[in-house]
Amino acid sequence: MEYLGIKIEKPKVAFFEFTCCEGCQLQISNKEDTLIDLLSLVEVVNFREISSDQKDNYDIAFIEGAISRQDQIDKIKKIRKNARLLISLGTCACSGGVNSLINRHCSEDAVAEVYGEYKKETLPVKSAKEVVKIDLEIPGCPINKDEFENIVVHLITGADFSFLKYSVCVECKQNLNHCLLDENKICLGPITRAGCDAPCPGGKLACYGCRGPADEHNWPALKQTLIEKGFTLEDIHEKVSFFNMLTEVTDNES
């Protein structure tokens, strides 16, 4: 394989999933226009959800999902050993995602509520990077399929890649959406990293920050605005903590 006359090695890639909805891997198969071209850039050696052919000789491993049981800890450690590059795919792998909400409850009570007298093994939810070293995190619930393709093409061709530094608010304005803060909704677009093209505010659903904080943001000002609009700290906390992606900017504040 060549790109601009430079010979490129076709990396062997693998996909694995832990505690999640598997929706991020689905986004890759939903990239119908360029899927075959994208697949021609790599050799897929392990992708259980769509393939029965499975090997462990991969260079790049993509992992989706949070870690919430001992066998997953063992498995992700094994994947870390095998992979040259380990990439978290989606918010659940990056921060635990919505799965983290269960950490507010006692696990024994949760098991008892769902399974009654039967014991089922579970651990408090962790992100992948709390268990092993992660080389790159691609956030989003779900991931943005164009951004994913862009990152993969950059990685394989050896080109530099950087995430957008500005916020979802900028993309939302570019799309000429009506501002949801003006419609009295708790929208976290002003502090959340762009790159998704603002699909939530585009559907008049407020942004809850699934992509984590933008490089440039002003949480104290947004929080003050929300309080002035009459929202309680409890209302605000429910939204900023939903995906567990904004704790680094909001933890000391709310």
Site of interaction with another protein (CB under 8 A): 18-27, 29-30, 32-33, 35-36, 39, 44, 47-54, 68-69, 72, 97-99, 101-102, 105, 109-111, 113-116, 118, 120, 122, 141-142, 199-200, 202-205, 208, 235, 238, 242
CB of 64 to another protein, least distance (A): 9
CB of 175 to another protein, least distance (A): 12
Buried b (16+ CB within 10 A) or exposed e, 83-104: beebbbbbbbbbbbbbbbebee
**Closer Cβ to another protein, 185 or 218, answer by number:** 185
CB of 5 to another protein, least distance (A): 26
Q: Return the C-alpha torsion angle 242, 238, 168, 20, nearest 10.
A: 10
- Cα dist from 139 to 120, 149, 176, 213, 223, whole Å: 30, 13, 24, 11, 23
CB of 160 to another protein, least distance (A): 29
**Closer Cβ to another protein, 33 or 216, answer by number:** 33
CA dist., res. 177 & res. 205, Å (int): 11
**Closer Cβ to another protein, 34 or 224, answer by number:** 34
**Closer Cβ to another protein, 117 or 160, answer by number:** 117
CA dist., res. 102 & res. 110, Å (int): 8
Q: What is the CA radius of gyration of the chain?
A: 20
Q: Phi/psi zone of residue 91: left (φ > 0), alpha (ψ -120 to 50 degrees), beta?
A: alpha
CA dist., res. 173 & res. 110, Å (int): 42
63: β partners: 16, 88
Is the distance from CB of 59 to CB of 84 less than 8 angstroms? yes
Q: Phi/psi zone of residue 83: left (φ > 0), alpha (ψ -120 to 50 degrees), beta?
A: beta
CB of 142 to another protein, least distance (A): 5
Q: Which two tokens stand for residue 107?
A: 């696990």
**Closer Cβ to another protein, 30 or 174, answer by number:** 30
CB of 248 to another protein, least distance (A): 22
CA dist., res. 208 & res. 188, Å (int): 5
**Closer Cβ to another protein, 1 or 221, answer by number:** 1
**Closer Cβ to another protein, 20 or 191, answer by number:** 20
